[in-house]
Structure 1
């Protein structure tokens, strides 16, 4: 039978997975919008297309990769801090109520 810490770990995994999906979707939209505003062109949909220059394909890949990773790190760290704080508050309330 799963103990309490295993259940909390499963809860964190579920929350983390959901946040990962939301963060990836949001970051892709924001980076795509920023790319369009800064270059005046839509983000390349197919980096292997001969209509897209090699420099543009590589530039977009670098911007997207770095942007996605930074977004994932920031969201994961702040979510983990909030989850740990919520967990400790929940534990403290349980200690008080007995």
Structure 2
């Protein structure tokens, strides 16, 4: 693997981590806002005292983790496609490599 390919790979990994983290954060914030609008209160958190119903805690955990995981997968795939397009553009004939 050349230094340029290694740098591109490192850049793609860093970009993917940043994008996935930002998307997961945004998804969690959006879910919190939707939960509050639907239920009238914030979703339960692990550090909250035991006053939340177990069913509500399970529902919040399942919905949040599912949406955040899906958002991270979609962000990672989008970043991979973007990285491939950038890398393919750098290696086109007639361009300086």
The answer to whether the superposition gives a TM-score over 0.5 is yes
Write the distance in 2 (CA, Å) between the matches of 1:51 and 1:4. Answer: 55
Q: Aligned with 2:94: secondary structure?
A: helix
Name the TM-score, length of structure 1 as normaliser: 0.85
Name the TM-score, length of structure 2 as normaliser: 0.86
RMSD: 2.0
- Give 4+ residue runs of structure 1 displaced > 2 Å after superposition: 45-49
Structure 1 unaligned residues grouped into runs of 5+: none
1:59 aligned onto 2:59: yes
Higher relative contact order (CA 8 A, sep 6+): 2
- Structure 1 pair 67/97, CA: closer, same or farther in 2 (3 Å)? closer
Length, aligned pairs only: 96
Task: Report the counterpart of residue 35 of structure 1 in structure 2.
Answer: 35
Between Structure 1 and Structure 2, the one with more helix by share is 1
Structure 2 unaligned residues grouped into runs of 5+: none
Q: How does 1:73-92 map to 2 (within 5 A)?
A: 73-92=73-92
**C-alpha displacement of 1:86:** 1.6
